[in-house]
Chains A and B, each alone.
Chain A
Amino acid sequence: MATVSQWVPFRTLAWRECHRFLRIWKQSLVPPLITQSLYFIIFGAFLGARVGDVQGVGYAQFIVPGMVMMGVINGAFSNVAFSFFAAKFQRSIEELLVSPVKPATILGGYVAGGALRGLLTGLLIFAVSMFFARPAVEHPFVLVAFALLAAVLFAIGGFLNGLFAKSFDDAGVFTTFILTPLIYLSGIFYPVTALPEPWQTISRINPILYLVSGMRAGFFGNPEIPVSVSLGMVAVISVGLWMLALRLLKQGRGLTA
Chain B
Amino acid sequence: MIALDIQGLTKQYATGAKALQGLSMRVEEGAMHALLGANGAGKTTTIGILTGLVRKSGGTATVLGHDLDAEPEVVRSLIGVVPQEFNFSIFETPFDICVTQAGFYGVPRQEAVTRVEALLKQLGLWEKRALPSRTLSGGMKRRLMIARALVHQPKILLLDEPTAGVDVELRRSMWEFLQTLNAQGTTILLTTHYLEEAEQLCQTASIIKQGTIVREGKMAELVASLDVKRFVFTTATPIASVSPIDGIVCKKIGDLEWDAELPQTGTVTALLAGLSAQGITVTDIRPRNNRLEELFLQTIS
Contact = CB atoms under 8 A, between A and B. Distances in A.
Interface residues of B, number: 35
Interface in A204-257: 252, 256-257
Given A12-B100, A257-B13, A100 B105 contact: yes
Among the interface residues A12, A87, A91, A98, which one has the most CB atoms of the partner chain B within 10 A? A98
A1 to B, nearest CB: 6
A96 interface: yes
Given A94-B53, A256-B55, A9 B103 contact: yes
B127 to A, nearest CB: 21
A101 interface: yes
Interface stretch (B81-89, B168-176, B239-247, B253-261): B81-89
Contacts of B83: 94
Given A16-B100, A94-B83, A97-B53, A9 B89 contact: no
Contacts of B109: 12
A97 B83 CA distance: 13
A99 B90 contact: no
A256 B56 CA distance: 10
B76 A86 contact: no
A130 to B, nearest CB: 34
B104 A101 contact: yes
Contacts of A13: 100, 103-104
B49 to A, nearest CB: 10
A55 interface: no
Interface in A63-102: 86-87, 90-92, 94-102
Contact of B103 (A1, A8, A87): A8
How many residues of A sit at the interface, in one of the four size bands? 20 to 34
Contact of A8 (B76, B81, B86, B107): B107
B54 to A, nearest CB: 5
A4 interface: yes
B76 A100 contact: yes
Contacts, number: 88
Interface in A1-37: 1, 3-5, 8-9, 11-13, 16, 19
A98 B103 contact: no
A69 B254 CA distance: 80
B52 A95 contact: no
Interface string B38-76: 000000000010011111000000000010000001101
B108 interface: yes
A233 to B, nearest CB: 35
Contacts of A12: 100, 103-104, 109
A100 B74 contact: yes
Contacts of B77: 1, 3-4, 99-100
Contacts of A99: 76-77, 101, 104-105
Nearest to A5: B106
Given A4-B105, A99-B104, A257-B14, A92 B88 contact: yes
Interface string A184-214: 0000000000000000000000000000000
7 pairs of A and B residues whose beta carbons are closest in the complex: A12-B103, A99-B104, A91-B87, A100-B73, A4-B106, A92-B89, A98-B51
Interface of B: 13-14, 48, 51-55, 66, 73-74, 76-79, 81, 83, 85-90, 96-97, 100-101, 103-109, 148
Interface of A: 1, 3-5, 8-9, 11-13, 16, 19, 86-87, 90-92, 94-102, 252, 256-257
13 contacts: A1-B74, A3-B77, A4-B106, A9-B104, A13-B100, A13-B103, A95-B101, A96-B104, A100-B74, A100-B104, A100-B106, A102-B73, A252-B55
